[in-house]
Structures are given as structure tokens and as C-alpha cells.
Amino acid sequence: MNAQLQEIIKNFDPITLTEMDSVKLMDRTDTKYVFSTDHLPVILKEMSAHYRLLEINEVRIHRYESLYFDTPDFQLYSKHQIGKQNRYKLRFRSYVDSGGLSFFEIKFKNNKGRTIKERVKVGEINSVISGNAEEFLKKVTPFDATMFEPKLWVNYSRMTFVNKFSQERLTLDTNLRIIKTDGSNFSVDFPKMVIAEAKQDKTNHASPFIRLVRKQNIREGGISKYCFAVFTLNDQVKKNNFKPVVRFIHKCVNQQVFSLTV
């Protein structure tokens, strides 16, 4: 993040992890937006009166590393691609700037459009779902751990905001990097992309952030980072239903050619 944005985020009142406990919103509705980093200075300046920004050990932009799992034939991705409800995402996630604190996390999107996230603390990210992660998977899903294998890494930097006046959390993710797990070390970077999610108990379009992005002519729309990564890195999966939203994302960030690394 450049010096201008670093100065802007200093203007936010901080909030601690402990203070955020009352706004966990593990059962919620999500409203997603994707836009270019060019919009960030204006949006962040106008947000500061309405939101507090998570600060941990004087750090306000936090690095996340997530290893996603799916079946060999991408059954979890395929359910998203065809728009099927009652679908899951499985991942290990490391909160890098919190001393490597790691969890095994399960996200479930039910047929009422609500997202339910559950997680269990683990010692480290593993290439297999075992131990307490395996027990947790059996407890909260109909799946067996042997069904799944690691598919890809999704890494990014996150700012987490909490509305001062209502039950709303907001995340702004930047510096997205997706990485294959096939040993090739092939990765793709998206330096111009911002992925925003307003997380609310009930969708409330009076959200200050939603009003701000509308003023910038940013339309609601997005795709899960996992599905976007699978779409980008894998040619063998079905993509037709995701093509319009991916074209929309590319247009929003004005970034048709991405940074590739091998």
C-alpha cells in the first residue's frame, strides 16, 4: 500500500480483537464489490467517520494465507459454478501478522442466502485434513476428510472495519495472489484489485460503505476468491456460468493482463 493510503488509514479510530467479539457475524449476509485500487483514497477518506479499523500490535493491514481443499474433480467448486445452494468451502487459514495463528475453517452457504462460518484452531496449516480438523469436519458436515486434497493458495492483505453505529463488519482485501499446489510454484497476482465484503446480520443498503461505493458508480457484484482462483488457474473445470462475472471483475479493475510468476 502506498504512502498516501498509509496516511489515510491512520485517521481511523482503532478497534481491538476483543472489542470485535460482539460483531463476529458468523451467521450473516454478505454483499460483495470488486473495484480498482484507484477508488481507495476517496472511499477510505469518507469511511473514517463511520467505521473503526482493526489494529493488532499497531498493525492495521493484515496478511492472510489460505489453503483451500476440494475433491479431485472439484465438486465444491462445481456446486458454486452451477449456483447450487447448501454448498461448502473448506480451508486452512493463517493470520500471518497474529503470530501465525491458524484455523481450519468451514463456510456454508444455505438455501436462504446466509453464510455460516465455523472454525477450529490448529497448530499449523497442513496438506491433509487430520487431527482436530478432521474431527471438526465430521462434526459439522456430511463429508469424510479422505474426499479432499489441497487445491490452491489464496493470499492477500486485509483491512477489517467495524461500523460504529450498527452490526456491520467490512473487509477490504488487496494484493491478491493465487498459487497452484501442484509443485510448479505458478502464481498470479492482482495488484489493482480490491475485493470488498459488507457482512451484516441482515442486508442493509443504508450501510455507509454501500452508499459510498454507489457514489463512485461501483456496482454490487463479485465471486468468491476460491472460485475466482480455480477459474483462473484451472482449464479442466467448467467455467461458463462464471464468465460474465469474471469479465465484470476484469473491467472493474481495468486490468486485463495480470502479473504471472513461475
Task: Locate the domains of the chain by residue range.
Answer: 3-261
Looking at domain 3-261, its CATH class is: mainly beta
Number of CB atoms found within 10 A of residue 158's CB: 17
pLDDT tens track for 55-112: 998 999 999 999 999 999 999 999 999 988 899 999 999 999 887 799 999 999 988 8
Q: Which candidate, 81, 52, 21, 105, places its Cα nearest to that of 234?
A: 81
pLDDT at 174 (0 to 100): 96
Q: How far apart are CA 262 and CA 255, in angstroms?
A: 20
Q: Which residues contact 46 (CB under 8 A, 6 or more apart)?
A: 208, 212
Which of 198, 181, 178 has the alpha carbon at shortest distance from 258? 178
pLDDT band at 114 (very low <50, low <70, confident <90, very high): confident
User: Which three cell numbers, joined as nine digits, stand for 244?
Assistant: 460474465
Write down the pLDDT at residue 257. Answer: 41
pLDDT over threshold 50, residue 167: yes
Convert the pLDDT of each residue in 224-254 to its tens digit.
999 999 999 999 999 999 999 998 888 888 6
Which range, 7-21, 130-144, 199-213, has the best average confidence (pLDDT)? 130-144
